[in-house]
């Protein structure tokens, strides 16, 4: 079996059913523009550490361009880390399915980027931040983001059914996101966080502004979702 044939099989059987559409599209781009041009016509049994090493070195130096090109910018560490991780993941499954004896990509490693130190807001900056949010009519959302540290994608996918005012808790569904104005549910865990009393009360007040919507926060990106049942 060639690498091209295995990648097509892996994408259809293992990647597509488990990945979000955007993640699957990103993987497909990496395969078509980086991995398959260099390895696609080789058989899985022909992949060795030397072959993988040469492939990764060429991607690092030339990117998706041919070496003889007069203008071939190489790839940065982040891009190389993504290419290597996807290749290793794909070949790991080939080993598990007995299509090859071992995964030669495991011999190579790309270090993770250094953690960037966050700039923490001062008390006065927090006060100005919340004052501005209140003037714009978004105080509950921004207060929740500030106190609970939720990602934007998590905030906009919250439902009122996730809030327990009596217990002061909020359930976050890690697999629920809004993509292209549509709600998407993926396999993922949940976590429950405790809310300050003021935050829970503000959220309860926010509910009275649009009680017919199952969503906690109304915004243009979810306008088409307001009729969805909770």
Q: How far apart are CA 145 and CA 198, in angstroms?
A: 14
Model pLDDT, residue 65? 57
User: What are the two backbone dihedrals, phi and then psi, of residue 196, each rounded to the nearest 5 degrees?
Assistant: -60, 150
Dihedral sign (CA 224, 184, 178, 140): positive
Model pLDDT, residue 113? 67
Write down the number of H helices and E strands in the chain. 9, 5
pLDDT in tens, 158-210: 888 888 888 888 888 877 766 666 666 666 678 888 888 878 888 888 888 88
Q: CA-CA distances (angstroms) from residue 180 to 34, 184, 230?
A: 27, 10, 19
Q: How far apart are CA 49 and CA 2, in angstroms?
A: 17
Does this model's pTM top 0.75? My answer is no
Taking only Cα atoms into account, the Rg of the chain, rounded to an integer number of angstroms, comes to: 24
Domain regions of the chain by residue span: 3-107, 123-225
Residue 223 pLDDT > 70? no
3-state secondary structure of 101: coil
Model pLDDT, residue 181? 60
Choices 1.10.150.130, 3.40.50.720, 3.40.50.360, 3.90.226.10: CATH for 3-107: 1.10.150.130
3-state secondary structure of 230: coil
Residue 98 pLDDT > 90? yes
Residue 141 pLDDT > 90? no
Mean pLDDT score across all residues of the chain: 82
pLDDT in tens, 20-49: 777 888 899 899 988 999 999 999 999 999
Q: In what order do the strands lie in the sheet with 169-173?
A: 163-164, 169-173, 190-194
């Amino acid at each position: 079996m060639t690498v091209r044939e295995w990648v097509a099989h892996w994408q259809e059987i293992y990647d597509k059913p488990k990945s979000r559409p955007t993640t699957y599209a990103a993987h497909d781009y990496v395969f078509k523009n980086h991995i398959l041009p260099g390895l696609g016509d080789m058989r899985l049994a022909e992949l060795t550490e030397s072959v993988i090493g040469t492939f990764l070195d060429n991607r690092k130096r030339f990117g998706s361009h041919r070496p003889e090109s007069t203008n071939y910018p190489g790839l940065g560490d982040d891009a190389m880390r993504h290419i290597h991780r996807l290749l290793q993941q794909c070949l790991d499954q080939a080993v598990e399915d007995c299509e090859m004896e071992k995964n030669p990509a495991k011999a190579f490693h790309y270090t993770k980027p250094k953690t960037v130190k966050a700039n923490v807001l001062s008390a006065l900056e927090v006060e100005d931040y919340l004052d501005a949010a209140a003037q714009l009519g978004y105080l509950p959302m921004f207060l929740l983001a500030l106190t609970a540290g939720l990602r934007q994608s998590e905030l906009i996918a919250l439902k009122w059914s996730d809030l327990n005012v009596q217990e002061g808790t909020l359930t976050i569904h890690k697999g629920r996101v809004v993509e292209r104005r549509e709600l998407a549910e993926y396999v993922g865990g949940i976590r429950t966080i405790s809310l300050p009393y003021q935050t829970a009360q503000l959220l309860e007040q926010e509910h009275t502004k649009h009680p017919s919507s199952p969503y906690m926060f109304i915004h243009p990106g979810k306008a088409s979702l307001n009729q969805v049942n909770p």
